[in-house]
Amino acid sequence: MDEVDRDTRGAVTTLSADRASLDEFAQHAREAVDGWLDRALPPAASEPATLHSAMRHSVFAGGKRIRPLLLLATAEIFEDDLEPLLPAAAALELIHTYSLIHDDLPAFDDDDLRRGRPTCHKLFGDAVAILAGDALQTLAFEQLTCAAAALEHPRRWLAASAAIARAAGSIGMCGGQCLDIEASGRALEFEDLRSVHAAKTGALLAASTEAGALLAGADADATARLAGFGRTVGLAFQVVDDLLDVEGTLEELGKPPGSDSGRDQPTFVTHLGLDGARREAEDLRDQALELLAPFGGAAQHLHALANLIVERRA
């Protein structure tokens, strides 16, 4: 880890300096996280080269790194030095990327494009894509456990790792994906739809803020409040995704719009209409921001991220 720490420290230590704008914060954070990911992932030429190439193809496909940003912006409320938290930020992105690889498979969403590039299975085949997702998930927990063993505050790292594991598992992201599959072609009550996406999309976003608070040593009340922020903004994220599925373009989304409606999938737009879904996203954003009130200006980047999530066009 020492070599990686030296290589990334310059980018990371600027994150909190002078309370930089969100654009500056995000740029430095993405550079630092991408540097860590580049070192954590095996080289594309190392055997099995096909698997390692598939992993790298998906990780470096141009993601926004929202989950790492949420973790680092949360920790920033309590800590000035964010560099030690890079393994956790990278682990979240690895788990998110594995989920996207699997979501794109023919057995799930059967998508040909992701972020404007061919999906993993279109380039490498279904079997290698499944293995790439599996390998990214296990690499994520390797990053977390190695950090717990090597860095200060191992109990914090174990608690954060457990939170991330729960969010990714059968009561979180995977469970939500299963419920979403079962909902295809069926009418869902609105609260059931919210429950599906609170798990499928919201759980890992909530874990991002919860883990950030745990790793930074926040007390139980602050951690619960910040996890609630992540849960609420995570649901808003899905509402906006449903809006973009109707209103977005191929250039904006990096994949054809209308994929959910084409699969007869219940969405927030089918329940609420376009205007109602916009109001729902804004209401959720407002609820999330209320949870940040006790943290004042220290949470300015979380505040800005909530606005970005609701106002984004991709």
The pair of structure tokens assigned to 282 is 């804004």
pLDDT value at residue 43: 97
Token reading at 184: 């295809």
CB count within 10 Å of CB 205 equals 29
Per-residue confidence (pLDDT) for residue 249, from 0 to 100: 74
Token look-up 């719009």 returns: 257
Instruction: Please tell me the predicted confidence (pLDDT) of residue 259.
Output: 62
pLDDT at 301: 96
Identify the pLDDT of residue 282.
Answer: 97
> CA-CA distance, 149 to 1, in Å (whole number)?
11
Question: Which of 93, 28, 86 has the alpha carbon at shortest distance from 65?
Answer: 93
Nearest to 51, CA basis, from 120, 1, 2, 107: 120
- Residue 63: per-residue pLDDT: 87
- pLDDT for the residue numbered 254: 66
Q: Is the peptide bond before 43 cis (omega within 30 degrees of 0)?
A: no
Cα atoms in the 13 Å half-sphere on the side-chain side of 245: 21
What are the beta bridge partners of residue 117?
A: 114
Q: What DSSP string runs through the chain?
A: -HHHHHHHHHHHTTSSGGG--HHHHHHHHHHHHHHHHHHHSPPTTSSSHHHHHHHHHHHTS----HHHHHHHHHHTTT-S--GGGHHHHHHHHHHHHHHHHHHTSTTTT--SEETTEE-HHHHH-HHHHHHHHHHHHHHHHHHHHHHHHHSS-HHHHHHHHHHHHHHHSTTTHHHHHHHHHHHTTS---HHHHHHHHHHHTHHHHHHHHHHHHHHTT--HHHHHHHHHHHHHHHHHHHHHHHHHHHH--HHHHSS-TTHHHHTT---HHHHHHHHHHHHHHHHHHHHHHHHHGGGGGGGHHHHHHHHHHHH---
Beta bridge mates, 118:
113
* Identity of residue 274: L
What is the structure's pLDDT at 184?
A: 86
pLDDT in tens, the chain (314 residues): 333 333 433 344 334 433 469 999 999 999 999 999 999 999 999 999 999 999 999 999 988 999 999 999 999 999 999 999 999 999 999 999 999 999 999 999 999 999 889 999 999 999 999 999 999 999 999 999 999 999 999 999 999 999 999 999 999 999 999 999 999 888 899 999 999 999 999 999 999 999 999 999 999 999 999 999 999 999 999 999 999 999 877 776 766 766 655 567 899 999 999 999 999 999 999 999 999 999 999 999 999 999 999 999 88
Q: Global pTM?
A: 0.91
